[in-house]
A and B are shown apart, each in its own frame.
Chain A
Amino acid sequence: MAILEARNVTREYRMKAENVRALAEISVAIERGEFMAILGTSGSGKSTLLNLFGGLDRPTSGEVLFDGESLAPLSSWEMSRYRLRRVGMIFQSFNLIPTMTARENVSLALAFAGLSKSERRRRSLELLDRVGLSQRAGHLPSELSGGEQQRVSIARAIANEPQVLLADEPTGNLDSSRAAEVMEVLDEMRRRDSKTIVLVTHDHELAGRFATRIIRLKDGRVIAD
């Protein structure tokens, strides 16, 4: 069974007087352990699809299923628990809290899960060690390089052991060598911890190198699989 599935999903936005259709009756199923890259130009609806998978957004019609169960009936609070436990999100602009150190950023995700302070301390260091940043735990994001920041955000994303990692252009702000580093980390997550990775990118080269499956979106539709 697919771990994540979109069934006939349409997502429309209202922009001024116009309805913008970001996704048009799209159906995608992502299997467990896949490294799937979603390619497409900007405005193709790839980020919208990722936000739907990430539980940040709800479809206008159709449904999103996680492990065979629809997200539609979930309350706002249940949706937040879904984001906390089931999926981990990684962003192009890292989205670390600038006033918190690397460890505190990772800790925050653990705090939302209700871990005690000592547990958080131990676990956050462990997670930073996983992404090779145990030496940088006490640094603020501004004191870290882009690649390091993205690795912190990966550590944060896997903090509560989600089965799926959703990465929205994680390498968009990085140079190619840093980008490759980040992709290595993600790939290792897939291979070692059998996580499912969904990667949104417009970098064909990187996608080709790491992805096990590539789909292409255009104007809210899948044009290639």
Chain B
Amino acid sequence: MKFTDIIALAWRNLRQAKLRTSLTITGVIVGVAAIVTMVSFGLGLQDNLLKDALARIDLFTSITVMGPGADALLAMQDQNQDGAANANGDDNGADASNGEKSDGAASTTPEATPEPSPTPARMLDDPAIAELQSISGVRYVLPNFSFSNYVRFEGRTRRAFIGGAPRSVEYNPRFKKFLAGHHFASDDAREVVVTERFISWVRSKKRINGNRRRRPGGPFQVAPTRSEEERAREANGILGKEIILLTLREQNSAPASVFGIPIIDVSSNEISGGTAGDSSSELGEQYEERVYRIVGVLKAEDGFDINNFMETDMFIPLEHAKGFREAGLDPMSRMGELLAGDTGYQNAEIRVADVSQVDSIKEEIKKRGFRAWSFTNQVEEIKRVFLIVNSALALLGGISLLVASFGISNTMIMSIRERTREIGVMKAIGGSDGEIMRIFFVEASLIGLAGGALGVLGGWGIDRVANTLANRWILKQVGQTVRHIEFFSIPWYLSSGAILFAIIVSLIAAIYPAMRAAKVDPIKALRYE
């Protein structure tokens, strides 16, 4: 008998007992829908965490590249580490000076030869940054020069995160998204580019009326929905205003000067921790004020504003920033930098377009002689945890499919009892045991296929309803519209896998009934009326 005829026969048999068949299929639908809903929730969670939230926080799309300056620091801190031969330091021509300086640092402490790694990193200077930018898949490279400093704006003072940025930004797409205004005019302009984070601080001040100073934008603050025009208007309003950066006035003896800006010992920094702005007149005596004019507002990245946590409030020209930072460094770090000499940037943050590229780009960076570090190992760890969670969820859903499989067995045994005579006839007119068996296996797989397909559809439906309700609930709780969150994920492998699994389970459930059908004795089956 041809296979198509077997399918036709099986189909006919199922249609003959419509109610029984549909009830059996319903059992499978429930089982498959349970699996799909459970697993899609797990996968959705994983997606939200990995692709979405974490990708936005830029933890997993960022690679930190470290220059030799960082080496010197590490060397200072890890003196106990038994270092490899420091001669390696001279191998690299670019690092020759650095190597010598490191030696100098070592001589201050007996015996220890600080050498954190066999080959010191390459100098992380502007050409290096440009080179990193040229690696394919790199979104941008931001030389890391952020520091915190007191700033005064419209009569209020706070501590702000300030970054240094070069004037030439052709390799830095980040500075192309301006909500208002433009970039610095030159590398030593007294100009500042602020971020939307800064604006939200200004706004929150206005609302709170300056009574209690709350840090704006906690890490998981919900981004208020403001139209782009609204944000642009706000940004335009702030252009041209002045921000005053405060540095401590030189009070101590033993001033060190880097980039012409005095370094102040932290021990004399009595105002640290004091609430800024309490008495700005008094502070004014201790602080030197440097006035910067706001020339541009950078556009925040879309979506959840988790970035608030990591982001800087404003950028000033790089050379200025270097000076400010020297002033703000703790003595240990400053010493490290001094010893290391001109080592370029300490580190740079690279953002990669896609999480999956992080590893390959990291390797590429290492190949070019830099130190690179990223969070990708953690991604693998998280994926492994989710695999376990998803398997557990699938198992839970699988229990209902197991129950459904008993339903399939039951239905088929019933149907074989009813059709014993028919089976006997088929055998008498030339049907083989195998053909009889195949008819029942095909019946079972049709049940599995129909139940599986409808079950996936059902699971998808449940997901949609649950997702809508969940989003509505969040809206109610938060009181603000958040970006619509997708809690469930049904990738193709889940839907096809669930259908396949339903078919396999149905086939297993049909083994016993099909064998029983094949064993029907035609003489007995045909004997009685």
Partner of B433, one of A77, A108, A112: A77
Q: Are the C-beta atoms of A84 and B425 separated by less than 8 Å?
A: no
Chain B CB within 8 A of A99 CB = yes
Give the docked Cα–Cα distance between A89 and B431 (Å): 13
Q: Are the C-beta atoms of A112 and B529 separated by less than 8 Å?
A: no
Give the docked Cα–Cα distance between A114 and B1 (Å): 5
Residues of chain B in range 433-455 having any CB-CB distance to chain A below 8 Å: 433-435
What's the least CB distance linking A34 to chain B, in Å?
A: 22
Chain A CB within 8 A of B212 CB = no
Partner of A80, one of B2, B16, B432, B526: B432
Main SS of chain B's interface residues? Answer: helix
Across the interface, name the chain A residue whose C-beta is closest to B15: A99
Q: Are the C-beta atoms of B429 and A83 separated by less than 8 Å?
A: yes
The number of inter-chain residue pairs (CB within 8 angstroms) is: 67
Q: Are the C-beta atoms of A56 and B427 separated by less than 8 Å?
A: yes
Partner of B425, one of A57, A80, A95: A95
Give the docked Cα–Cα distance between A112 and B424 (Å): 14
Q: Are the C-beta atoms of B421 and A95 separated by less than 8 Å?
A: yes
Q: How large is the interface on A (under 10, 10 to 19, 20 to 34, 35 or more residues)?
A: 20 to 34
A81, A91, A157, most chain B CB atoms within 10 A: A91
User: Inside 8 A of A160's CB, which chain B residues have their CB?
Assistant: 430
Q: Are the C-beta atoms of A113 and B523 separated by less than 8 Å?
A: no
Contact digits for A80-100, partner B, Cβ 8 Å, 1 yes 0 no: 110111001101010111010
Across the interface, name the chain B residue whose C-beta is closest to A106: B429
Q: Are the C-beta atoms of A114 and B2 separated by less than 8 Å?
A: yes
Q: Are the C-beta atoms of A111 and B427 separated by less than 8 Å?
A: no
Q: Are the C-beta atoms of B429 and A84 separated by less than 8 Å?
A: yes
A93, A109, A112, A113, most chain B CB atoms within 10 A: A112
Partner of A111, one of B2, B424, B523: B2
What's the least CB distance linking B392 to chain A, in Å?
A: 46
User: Inside 8 A of A157's CB, which chain B residues have their CB?
Assistant: 429
Give the docked Cα–Cα distance between A91 and B501 (Å): 44
Chain B CB within 8 A of A134 CB = no
User: Inside 8 A of A89's CB, which chain B residues have their CB?
Assistant: 428-429
Q: Are the C-beta atoms of B434 and A97 separated by less than 8 Å?
A: no
User: Inside 8 A of B12's CB, which chain A residues have their CB?
Assistant: 99
What's the least CB distance linking A54 to chain B, in Å?
A: 7
Chain A CB within 8 A of B323 CB = no
Instruction: In the A-B complex, list the 4 residue pairs whose CB atoms are closest, starting with the nearest.
Output: A84-B430, A80-B432, A112-B430, A111-B5
